[in-house]
Structure 1
Amino acid sequence: MDKTDIAALLALGAALFIAVGDVIHQRSAHEVTDEPVSHLGLFTRLLRDRQWWLGSGVSAVGFGLQAAALGLGSVLLVQAILVTSLLFALPINARITGQRVSRFQWTWAALLAAAVVVIVTVGNPTEGVSRASFETWSLVIAVLGPALVVCVVGARIFPGPTGAVLLAMVSGALWGVFAVLTKGVVDRLGDGVTELLRTPELYAWALVAIAGTAWQQSSFRAGALTASLPTMTVTEPVVGSVLGVVILGETLRPGDAGWFTLVIAFAVMVFATVALARGEAATAESASAAGSARADAG
């Protein structure tokens, strides 16, 4: 088994743990308070919620496995496989809520799995460098930073579903950046603690993780999960993959005949991800509504 295969297995493990953490975080974001709160207020309340910390602990295991996968494989490979977290989230969420996974959801799940397999095998993603220069990151900040600010301001101007989508884009983009930074941090682990502490990516990595978590919870609270979750789930791998290609020099090598297949597979992955995320979010919302109704009746 070569290191690419090991990276794929580690990414699958990461997808499982991240799926469990996401399910717990979604429930916490809606159950922690019924009052309207700011982004910072919501985050500070969640920091006092035991259920949220449980989800964070599970997600941390997933991020550890993701980091290990990125140490062995490309961002393109790992991010494609991490999309399968939705396949794990479906039965987990169904078990918690006591609802069955529909045939419609299983169909999209099969299509998503097939699309990921095609992207990984036909696309043949290859690694580039592990770290980018300060000048390269400056360009990324110059382009991505204003776009994220516009999304945050837009979420304030257009609350509700539109705001949830905009905040989800912010969170998804930050987690995409997080994946690229993780590869740089992992690359310095073998150089010792002193060198690691001198690595700028380490501090940017921590800040981006905190910001991504905060905006994620805010997007869940801003509107229906059917608006935020699909956007977030698609934005993260897209941003991460684009940055992997643009700043780390990673490539896809499908061959002349494989590009059409790859485009079709990518389109199927996006549509299947949106369909599954909407289904998962709708189930979570109905379960939350049922729980509130039982509480009111009691």
Structure 2
Amino acid sequence: MAQADIAALLALLAALFIAVGDVIHQRTAHEVTDEPVGHLALFLRLLKDRTWWLGSGIAAGGFVFQAAALGFGSVLLVQALLVTSLLFALPIHARLEHRRVTRWEWVWAVLLASSVAVIVTVGNPTEGSSRASLETWAGVACVLGPILALCLWGARRWSGPAAAVSMGIVSGALWGVFAVLTKGVVHRLDVTSLAGVLELARTPEVYAWVIVAVLGTSTQQAAFRAGALTASLPTMTVVEPMVGCILGVVVLGETLNPGETGWVTLVVAVIVMVVATAALARGEASSHDPTTV
């Protein structure tokens, strides 16, 4: 089996585990308290909840599969396939809520996943390097930081689906950064010897990796708390691979090779991703009261 095929299989397994973890996290974020709480207070309360830890354990299994997939394939390939987690999460969430996934939810979700399949197949992504310089990451922070700060500001001013989408953008972006950092960590991972462990401890990506994971988790819970799953999860599901893929190209030097005519198809696929995400969030806003989910 080719390395790209192994990476694709591991990425799909990661999508399944992450979807289950996300559904559990979303329910727990709403059930942990009826009081209005800030992001930090919510996160601290969730740390005391056993159900939340169950979801975290399952999601951690997904991250292990994701890391393994990144060891075999490019960030572009792995992150794009993680969008399929939405197809797992929607029916699981609907079952727990004792309702059916609507026809239009399925239509938009399938369009979302199909657009990703097009990007993977037509884009023909290839691997680049595993790590980037500190100067490159500093440039990423200068560009991405203000954007995320603006989204956080918007989430504080808005409520319901708009806040869920804003926080979903922040969380998705952080998990996209996390994926690129994971590529560097996996490249340096060698726990079979003391020298390997010490080398890993001297790798800057490890510490940034932990910090980004904590921030991504806390903002993810805030997004789940702000609205229902179909408002927050599609946003995170799309933003994470988009940020991860952009950073894969800009930071790691990965490439897309769609051919002369394939670029038009890629642009259309990206537009479909954005429209499907917006449709899922808008449908949720019109059919649910997020404070009661």
User: Is 1:160–1:223's contact at 8 Å kept on the other side of the alignment?
Assistant: yes
Tell me the CA shift for residue 110 of structure 1: 3.2
Q: 2:130 is matched with which residue?
A: 130
Residues 106-145 of structure 1: matches in 2 within 5 Å?
A: 106-145=106-145
Q: 1:286 to 1:100 in 2, by over 3 A?
A: farther
**In 1, Cα distance between the equivalents of 2:279 and 2:226?**
20
Q: 2:78 is matched with which residue?
A: 78
SS in 2 for 1:192: helix
User: Is 2:14–2:82's contact at 8 Å kept on the other side of the alignment?
Assistant: yes
1:253 aligns to 2:257 (yes or no): yes
Q: 1:282 to 1:44 in 2, by over 3 A?
A: farther
User: Is 1:47–1:53's contact at 8 Å kept on the other side of the alignment?
Assistant: yes
Q: 1:287 to 1:235 in 2, by over 3 A?
A: closer
Q: 1:286 to 1:38 in 2, by over 3 A?
A: closer
**In 2, Cα distance between the equivalents of 1:152 and 1:81?**
27
Give CA-to-partner distance per residue, 1:185-222, whole Å, 9 cap, x none: 00001372111111110110011000011111112223
Residues 124-203 of structure 1: matches in 2 within 5 Å?
A: 124-190=124-190, 192-203=196-207
Among 217, 223, 248, the residue aligned to 1:219: 223
Q: 1:196 to 1:173 in 2, by over 3 A?
A: same
User: Is 2:25–2:224's contact at 8 Å kept on the other side of the alignment?
Assistant: no
User: Is 2:128–2:255's contact at 8 Å kept on the other side of the alignment?
Assistant: yes
SS in 1 for 2:189: helix
Q: 2:104 is matched with which residue?
A: 104
Q: Between the two proteins, what is the percent identity of the paired residues?
A: 70
Q: 1:202 to 1:87 in 2, by over 3 A?
A: same
1:10 aligns to 2:3 (yes or no): no
Give CA-to-partner distance per residue, 1:96-127, whole Å, 9 cap, x none: 22222222233333323332222111110011
Q: 1:214 to 1:281 in 2, by over 3 A?
A: farther
**In 2, Cα distance between the equivalents of 1:155 and 1:103?**
29
Give CA-to-partner distance per residue, 1:27-58, whole Å, 9 cap, x none: 01100000111211100100011111010000
Q: 2:213 is matched with which residue?
A: 209
**In 2, Cα distance between the equivalents of 1:215 and 1:23?**
15
Indicate the RMSD between aligned Cα atoms, in angstroms.
2.3
Q: 1:48 is matched with which residue?
A: 48
Q: 1:243 to 1:286 in 2, by over 3 A?
A: same
**In 1, Cα distance between the equivalents of 2:149 and 2:103?**
40
Tell me the CA shift for residue 162 of structure 1: 3.8
**In 2, Cα distance between the equivalents of 1:136 and 1:209?**
20
Q: Please say which of residues 268-277 and 59-68 is displaced more in the overlay.
A: 268-277
User: Is 1:94–1:101's contact at 8 Å kept on the other side of the alignment?
Assistant: yes
Q: 1:288 to 1:266 in 2, by over 3 A?
A: same
Q: 1:187 to 1:147 in 2, by over 3 A?
A: same
Q: 1:20 is matched with which residue?
A: 20
Which stretches in structure 1 are left out of the alignment for 5+ residues? 291-298
User: Is 1:83–1:273's contact at 8 Å kept on the other side of the alignment?
Assistant: no
Q: 1:237 is matched with which residue?
A: 241
User: Is 1:226–1:282's contact at 8 Å kept on the other side of the alignment?
Assistant: no
Tell me the CA shift for residue 26 of structure 1: 0.5
**In 2, Cα distance between the equivalents of 1:206 and 1:156?**
25
Tell me the CA shift for residue 80 of structure 1: 0.7
User: Is 1:229–1:281's contact at 8 Å kept on the other side of the alignment?
Assistant: no
SS in 2 for 1:84: helix
SS in 2 for 1:253: coil
TM-score, length of structure 1 as denominator length? 0.89
User: Is 1:89–1:280's contact at 8 Å kept on the other side of the alignment?
Assistant: no
Q: Please say which of residues 272-281 and 55-64 is displaced more in the overlay.
A: 272-281
**In 1, Cα distance between the equivalents of 2:162 and 2:277?**
19
Which stretches in structure 2 are left out of the alignment for 5+ residues? none
**In 2, Cα distance between the equivalents of 1:282 and 1:65?**
36
Tell me the CA shift for residue 145 of structure 1: 1.7
